[in-house]
Structure 1
Amino acid sequence: MSLDQKFDEAALKVKAFTKRPTDQELLQVYALFKQATVGDNTTAKPGLLDLKGKAKWQAWMDKKGTSQDAAKEAYIKLAEELALKYQ
């Protein structure tokens, strides 16, 4: 199975969780997904009052410089770990 196929399968696993991961875990899932699919964050930082948006933006920005393939591999690994806890 190719890396992209494994990544897509992991994304489906994350969507099928029956319990909600912690906010920190969700931020990591989000950041790795964005880094894997889009690459480095080049968007403007959200406004002062958008706390959720700022947290997501910062989590993605923290992954800056990570290659898309490395982000996919990290996402797959994280999805597997979380699946044991939340499915």
Structure 2
Amino acid sequence: MALEQDFAAAQERVKKLAKRPSNDQLLALYGLFKQATEGDVTGKRPGMLDMVGRAKHDAWTARRGTDKAAAMQAYVALVESLVKTIG
């Protein structure tokens, strides 16, 4: 239960960062969040003209096979790292 509480707290902390994370950091957060909440990616990869959708899909696909708890832990660790580096 503590991990789920830490995960929820990290979701709130990331919204209050002093600066916007880089696109790569945002994609890492997205991939970990989706893997933690929904599991392995489903659906087709978006087409070439949907660059944002493709990047998100690829970030989530990169986490394929990661179990829910590991994805939550990685998300919490990434948020803690972001808080330390960008506030």
What TM-score, normalized to structure 2? 0.95
**What amino acid maps onto 1:22 in structure 2?**
S
Percent identity of paired positions between Structure 1 and Structure 2: 46
SS at match of 1:57: helix
Give yes or no for the alignment of 1:55 onto 2:47: no
**2:30 corresponding residue in structure 1:** 30
**1:40 corresponding residue in structure 2:** 40
**1:67 corresponding residue in structure 2:** 67
User: Which of structure 1's runs of 4+ aligned residues deviate more than 6 A?
Assistant: none
1:12 is displaced (CA, Å) by: 0.5
**2:20 corresponding residue in structure 1:** 20
**d(CA) in 2 for partners of 1:82 and 1:43?**
30
What TM-score, normalized to structure 1? 0.95
Question: Number of paired residues?
Answer: 87
**d(CA) in 2 for partners of 1:25 and 1:76?**
13
1:48 is displaced (CA, Å) by: 1.3
Aligned alpha-carbon RMSD (Å): 1.0
**d(CA) in 2 for partners of 1:85 and 1:43?**
35
Gaps of 5+ in 1: none
